[in-house]
Amino acid sequence: MSDAAPEAAAAGMLELKVAETPAAAPAAEEAPHPSGLTLEERYALARSVGEECINEEELRTLLAKKPLPVAYDGFEPSGRMHIAQGVMKAINVNKLTKAGCHFKFWVADWFAQLNNKMGGDLKKIQTVGKYMVEVWKAVGMDLSKVEFLSSSEEINKRPDEYWTLVMDIARKNNLKRIIRCSQIMGRAETDDLSAAQIFYPCMQCADIFFLKADICQLGMDQRKVNMLAREYCDDIKRKLKPIVLSHRMMPGLLEGQEKMSKSDPNSAIFMEDTEQEVNTKIKKAFCPPKVAAGNPCIEYVKYIVMPWFGHFEISRPADNGGDKKYTSHEELVADYESGALHPGDLKAGLSKALNAILQPVRDHFENNAEAKELLKKVKSYKVTK
């Protein structure tokens, strides 16, 4: 378990554009939706969240038939929040709630304890969970259709329902199938797993049904357990399966890092990093000239900056090409691969954009006494794998 205009971003708000052109009139047989969007607009908005969707026809049918579908994501409170979990998650949640979904965040404190995060100290884990909610508030996540549910609290409210589900899932799967899901915990199948970590996938699979989730909106690294839930539906002859809408995993900033790492401070931008820290990390980031594929700086622009602002701006002297505003990823890649856009200019524009997005978060943790104390505690905790 793990993911506007400049003026709006500076105020800590995220504004999402549904379409640049006026919406087409809805078909006569289509009932108006409270969101004011047509079914096709709602589908396009929801589908844009995922790098992969299993499956698209089920998603369209769900949005057509259910006025308020439930989407969920679960996260282990395991340390400071990096920008993919902070900004990308805010973008994705705001898209889904705008498309008419209700979003449930599963604050997976028990799961973090099972996975030995924060040394297994539940109080520290719960403190980190509160800090993470503060980050999302500050960055501009629309919380009007979002609820945060603590796994330890919710499971203890309905233990008979939850543990019956877990036991049935465990009974219907062999050990080899469950171990294949160990990736969801950041583990490998070859790792020396504790009994608690073997139990973890069965519990995460049960969460989906316990929360009555229609859409599993987690990262690609959680795909295996979401597929386990769909397979379980076959076992119990359940027709309606949870839709898997998996977002892309952002790479680390350094060469060869396929995924951001909280244990390596240079691997990612954190949500309360200072302006200087952001500038330094981006300056050191892997960014080979004329190579867009596998370039983390290009990825940051595509998946964070452009969805946030709707464009990406480069500032440079006239004799170096002058200022330029990119409104499409394809145009940016073409310029970069041709050499028309230099890595130094790309990095300068990226640093400026990221700092604009993060400033409201810095302000919140500086000016709000409760948030400031939470961050102080979280920074003092030792991160454990």
Summarize pLDDT for 45-83 with one digit per residue, the tens: 999 999 999 999 999 999 999 999 999 999 999 888 999
CATH number of 39-246: 3.40.50.620
pLDDT bucket at 30, cuts 50 / 70 / 90: low
From CA 373, how far away is CA 355, in angstroms rounded?
A: 22
How do strand 215-216 and strand 52-54 relate by DSSP bridges?
A: unpaired
Give start-end residues of each CATH 1.10.240.10 domain in the chain: 275-380
Percent of the chain with pLDDT over 70: 89
CA distance 384 to 9: 33
Six-digit token string for 51: 């790098």
Question: Average model confidence (pLDDT) for the chain?
Answer: 89
Residue 11: is its pLDDT beyond 60?
no
HSE, side-chain direction, 13 A CA sphere, residue 240 = 12
325 has a pLDDT exceeding 80: yes
Within 8 A by CB and 6+ apart from 20, the residues are: none
Q: Give the sign of the dihedral formed by CA 154, CA 204, CA 380, CA 9.
A: negative
Q: Which CATH number fits domain 275-380: 3.90.950.10, 1.10.240.10, 1.10.3720.10, 1.10.1040.10?
A: 1.10.240.10
- Residue 93's pLDDT is 97
pLDDT, position 20: 41
Nearest to 122 by CA among 152, 79, 163: 152
Task: Give me the mean pLDDT over the 171-175 stretch.
Answer: 92
What pLDDT was estimated at residue 383?
79
Residue in 382, 381, 380, 384 with CA at minimum distance from that of residue 185: 384
CA distance 207 to 229: 10
Task: Output the pLDDT for position 194.
Answer: 74
- In this predicted structure, the answer to whether residue 215 has a pLDDT above a threshold of 70 is yes
Give the C-alpha separation, 326 to 333, whole Å: 10
pLDDT attached to residue 190: 60
pLDDT tens per residue, range 249-294 = 999 999 888 877 766 778 899 999 999 999 999 999 999 999 999 9
- Per-residue confidence (pLDDT) for residue 7, from 0 to 100: 40
State how far the Cα of 27 lies from the Cα of 323, in Å rounded to an integer. 43
The pLDDT of residue 185 is 57
Give the residue range(s) of CATH 3.40.50.620 domains in the chain.
Answer: 39-246
pLDDT beyond 80 at 6: no
Tens-digit pLDDT profile for residues 269-280 = 999 999 999 999
* Most confident listed range (24-38, 169-183, 223-237): 223-237
Q: Region 27-48: what's the mean pLDDT?
A: 83
Residue 9: predicted pLDDT: 41
User: Which residues are paired to 182 by β-bridges?
Assistant: none
